[in-house]
Amino acid sequence: MHIKVISPSHLSALPSNISIKFSRLLSWTRTLKMRSFMHAGLIRSFFAFFFFTASLLFAQNKFTLSGFVTDAHSEEKLAGVNIIVENTDWGAATNQQGYYALTLPVGSYTLSYRYMGYETVKKEVALARNRTLNITLSQEILKGDQVSVTAEKPDHNIKSTEISIEKLDIQQVERIPVIMGETDIMKTIQLLPGITSTSEGNSGYIVRGSGFDQNLILMDGMPIYYSSHMQGLYSVFNSDAVDGLTVYKGGTPARFGGRGASVLDVRMRESGFEQYRAGFSLGLITSKFFIEAPVIADKLSVFVAGRSTRLGLGYQYDQYNSGNSDNTSGGKDGAKGESSGDKSGNSDYTFFDPYERWYDINAKVIYKINDNNRIFLSGYYGQDYAITVGPTDWGNKAASFRWNHNFSQKLISNTSLIYSEYYTHNVSFGGLYVFRSGIKTSSFKQDLLWVPNDKHGVHFGFQSEYQDFNHGGLEDTSQDDAGKFMPPMQGLESALYIENDQKITHRLSAHYGLRWSFYHQLGPGDRFVYDEASNEPISSEYFAENTDVMASYNVLEPRLTMTYLLDENSSVKTSFNRNAQYLRLMSLGGQIQWYDIWMPTTNNIPPMITNQVAAGYFRNFADHQFKLSGEVYYKWMTDAADFEDGLHNYLVDNLEAY
């Protein structure tokens, strides 16, 4: 159980939607006199028809106002914008696509659009038919005393269906104290309730007692399989390239899957279409830069950000004291401030181990075809170098293509192609042996968002990911075709999903969905049956084709979150999640943390199923200035797996059996 108290903005609370009553109509109908010559069944039919017709006539006097809210500079769609219908009890907020919809009776209204750090926009609207109203907001410059603001309604934590979810923007992350001047997202989320570090000073994290491999880490939808630099000290997320993040510890929407514990969804920064912007910073660990370039006004924008330890003050300090360009002074102890330094006494401290350095680059391109079509290209490349059991390098490569298409104001499509790779490469001292391992994935995603009215928000679609596993190969360079090579493995993970965020009544809301996931282990390869005592194969069957299915699984994953409003300042929430995980991370630990192996589901390793129920109480005080929440959860898992104790080398026969 965890308790948290936060103090947000002083923005006024949005009133709740009023319910429309038919009291006058009902009163009038009760005055009707029953005629003795009329049959009772005919009377019931008449009144049923009357009420049905009256409801239709009444519905015809209500129309929908909808549209998108975007940033005036970058044209980025803004999520969480508050739309207030002044002098009424109506209001709405934009979804993740920046879309809003309000169903109102015929009439004239004043609408107020409010968002964190942006100037408030007011619009006069005469509503006599369904209308589209797109709004652009301009950023405001705050002067004087510090003001606390929020992108959501002050009572969002009370009335929304979100439970076990944490949201942070980059401004919040940058206010957290950092290590040697390097803002780190992974260190920040370890301060959140229910999240702990795998070890002191390490960027790996555990959510609610699960394994660290049970966290799905996404960067603009691209899966990241190794999220650290400097063997765990820093994360792969450059704060200059990040716009915000969401952590799902529970209450996970059906559109996310593949891991049992949590989802970390990181949104990359985007460039505007109007102004050039650039920045450069010099730090102890890294030096960083970013560039925003509207290459073609209102059409094409490019964002690039990078950082490197080679240009950091710490690296230059090491070079100056070591007197060479290879950073050969210092050592493991030196990284802790206890290096013996050189004999002249010029240095008793080094920032980096010998040969240790890293860098990464983020890029994002937006091409606006027209108002209904946009292309997004995102990319990440990061690499580390260090001396472990010889010169070693490892890193992530990821790229995505996303086509955003608006079929209408109420139906939005996102079609994505995604590639991600994590690799390791090691050369032994003397160059006799070369080791390589890694994982590559190629994905297709089709997501649709349908917003029929302000009571429903429906996500549905499908995903498919091809996985290629290299569990390690040790090449003997002194001979041709000599060495030890683990057989490759392949898999196909797919899912269909649908979810709906629904406001059922004024007090009751629900977010419910279903994910149907599938996993197929594919050929070529051998399917073994092992003896449990000796781990030796009893029998085997060879599959020669890429399309051969060696093992197959499917799991239904229901998701449900419900919110009941006790009053305007408090609510209770509950959730149930089932998640199927088809990959396991097998780690030897120790000093070679980069040597991690992702093991797929096979005929001998079934998928791990994680079930979690949670309940929480949420309460606001002093006109939503102070917020209190407490949650309890219970989690149970089936078919959890890890390597047997005593396994110290992956390059063994029958790795699957261990």
Instruction: Give me the DSSP letters along 217-251.
Output: EEETTEE-S--EEGGGTEES--GGGEEEEEEESSS
Span 263-288, pLDDT tens digits: 999 999 888 887 899 999 888 888 89
Q: How far is CA 634 from CA 2, 29, 250, 598, in A?
A: 13, 52, 11, 27
Task: Name all domains of the chain by residue range, CATH numbers in brackets.
Answer: 12-137 (2.60.40.10), 351-657 (2.40.170.20)
Check: CB of residue 463 under 8 Å from CB of residue 503: no
User: What tokens appear for 213 in the block?
Assistant: 């491999």
- Quick one: pLDDT at residue 482? 67
pLDDT over 80 at 484, yes or no:
no
Alpha-carbon gap, residue 308 to 291, rounded angstroms? 16
Facing residues of 16 across strands? Answer: none
Q: For residue 513, what are the contacts with CB-CB under 8 A and spacing of at least 6?
A: 253, 254, 255, 459, 497, 498, 499, 500, 558, 559, 560
Cis before 452 (ω within 30): no
Span 599-634, pLDDT tens digits: 899 988 899 999 999 999 999 998 888 989 999 999
Taking residues 346-355, what's their average pLDDT? 68
Check: CB of residue 553 under 8 Å from CB of residue 571: no
Count of beta carbons in the 10 Å neighbourhood of residue 59: 10
Span 384-402, pLDDT tens digits: 998 877 888 999 999 999 9
Q: What is the pTM of this model?
A: 0.79
Taking residues 299-305, what's their average pLDDT? 94
Q: How far is CA 371 from CA 70, 132, 134, 389, 571, in A?
A: 12, 13, 11, 54, 40
Burial status of residue 289 (CB atoms within 10 A of its CB: 0-12, 13-18, 19 or more): middle
Q: How far is CA 391 from CA 286, 585, 591, 649, in A?
A: 21, 24, 14, 19
Residue 546's Cβ-side half-sphere holds a number of Cα atoms within 13 Å equal to 3
pLDDT over 90 at 453, yes or no:
no
> What are the helix and strand counts (H, E) for the chain?
6, 38
| DSSP state letter for 390 | S
Most confident of 17-21, 50-54, 79-83, 552-556: 552-556
- Quick one: pLDDT at residue 400? 97
Alpha-carbon gap, residue 376 to 220, rounded angstroms? 10
> Alpha helix (H) ranges present in 496-543?
none
Burial status of residue 158 (CB atoms within 10 A of its CB: 0-12, 13-18, 19 or more): buried
